[in-house]
């Protein structure tokens, strides 16, 4: 009888640790963004002395050919999400200002 209680307690502890361990895996996934109203691309490219096309080709070709994004057609919001992901998640070495210039360029020339 005492052996059965110990076995049941061990089973409960095992299940508890399993649930706690798995709950950490579930919470590590970032929540999906719900799409909001689409942003309109700016009327003009960001003010900068940097040529937007050259900046795009220089920075984006660090990790892949510049033909890869050129083959896509995305909305301003989609380009913003893509460039932000490349910068924040993939580690593309661009500043926030450079990201804005690249997003504006892509939305103007490769937008939907």
Is the residue at 44 inside a domain? no
- State residue 66's pLDDT score: 87
Q: CATH number for the domain including 67? A: 1.10.760.10
Model confidence over 11-20: pLDDT tens digits? 776 675 556 6
Is the residue at 99 inside a domain? yes
Is the residue at 96 inside a domain? yes
Model confidence over 40-88: pLDDT tens digits? 655 554 444 579 999 999 999 898 998 999 999 999 999 999 999 999 9
* Mean pLDDT along residues 91-98: 93
- Is this prediction's pTM over 0.75? no
Is the residue at 68 inside a domain? yes
Cβ neighbours for 20, distance < 8 A, ≥ 6 positions apart: none
Is the residue at 21 inside a domain? no
List the domain range (segments joined by +) for residue 81.
52-109
Q: Look at residue 26 and tell me whether its pLDDT is greater than 50.
A: no
- State residue 32's pLDDT score: 60
- State residue 11's pLDDT score: 75
Is the residue at 43 inside a domain? no
Burial of 108 (0-12, 13-18, 19+ CB in 10 A): middle
- State residue 103's pLDDT score: 95
Q: How many domains does the chain have?
A: 1
Is the residue at 45 inside a domain? no
Is the residue at 19 inside a domain? no
Tokens 């003010």, residue? 47
């Amino acid at each position: 009888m005492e052996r059965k209680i110990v076995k049941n307690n061990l089973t409960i502890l095992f299940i508890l640790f399993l649930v706690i361990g798995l709950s950490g895996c579930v919470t590590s996934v970032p929540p999906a963004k719900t799409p909001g109203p689409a942003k309109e691309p700016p009327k003009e490219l960001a003010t900068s002395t940097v040529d937007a096309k050259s900046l795009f080709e220089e920075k984006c070709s660090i990790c892949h050919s510049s033909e890869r994004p050129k083959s896509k057609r995305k909305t301003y919001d989609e380009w913003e999400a893509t460039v932000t992901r490349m910068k924040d998640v993939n580690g593309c070495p661009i500043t926030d200002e450079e990201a804005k210039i690249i997003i504006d360029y892509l939305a103007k020339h490769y937008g939907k």
